[in-house]
Amino acid sequence: MLRKEILISTLESLGANESLLGDFDLHSTVEIELDSGISIFISDIEGHIWLWSKVDFINSYNIDANANSLLSLLMEVRPFMLTGQYILGRIDDRYEFKALLSDDALANPENLAYVLESFYSDLMELKGICQ
């Protein structure tokens, strides 16, 4: 389970403006808007913590044209993820890049910061592959 104080401490350590970390609860999805224009979401779904992002830059053509590179990124083993890898899923008319976080990822601000930084870096790699 993600604790609010761990999330706040993590975001502060990553340079988030304290005034933007106002009153929120973890019962609804938390959106982290980044300077790059990309948002990363944290959702608690039935006691499981998901890190995810809408990837509007992906379509079926990108997937077909870049399948080898996409599979390499998606199949690499990742620490702090319950499934061991990322998930690229289609939801209605868009794609989402997701990670199901392990309890170790949520244990302290250092682990969560590592996961957030890695997720963002890999999200940027995914964007580079598909553009």
Report yes or no: 83 and 127 within 8 Å, Cβ to Cβ: no
Does pLDDT of 66 surpass 70?
Answer: yes
In this prediction, residue 44 carries a pLDDT of 87
Count of Cβ atoms closer than 10 Å to residue 102 Cβ = 19
Average per-residue pLDDT for the chain? 91
User: Residue 27 class from Cβ within 10 Å (0-12 exposed, 13-18 middle, 19+ buried)?
Assistant: exposed
Alpha-carbon span 89 to 98, nearest angstrom: 8
CATH number reported for the structural domain that contains residue 31 in this entry: 3.30.1460.10
Render pLDDT for 67-87 as a digit per residue (tens, 0 to 9): 999 999 999 999 999 999 999
In this prediction, residue 23 carries a pLDDT of 67
DSSP 3-29: -HHHHHHHHHHTT--GGGS-S--TTS-
Does pLDDT of 19 surpass 80?
Answer: no
| Number of separate domains in the chain | 1
The residue count of the chain comes to: 131
Q: Quick one: DSSP state of residue 85?
A: S
Domain that holds residue 74: 4-130
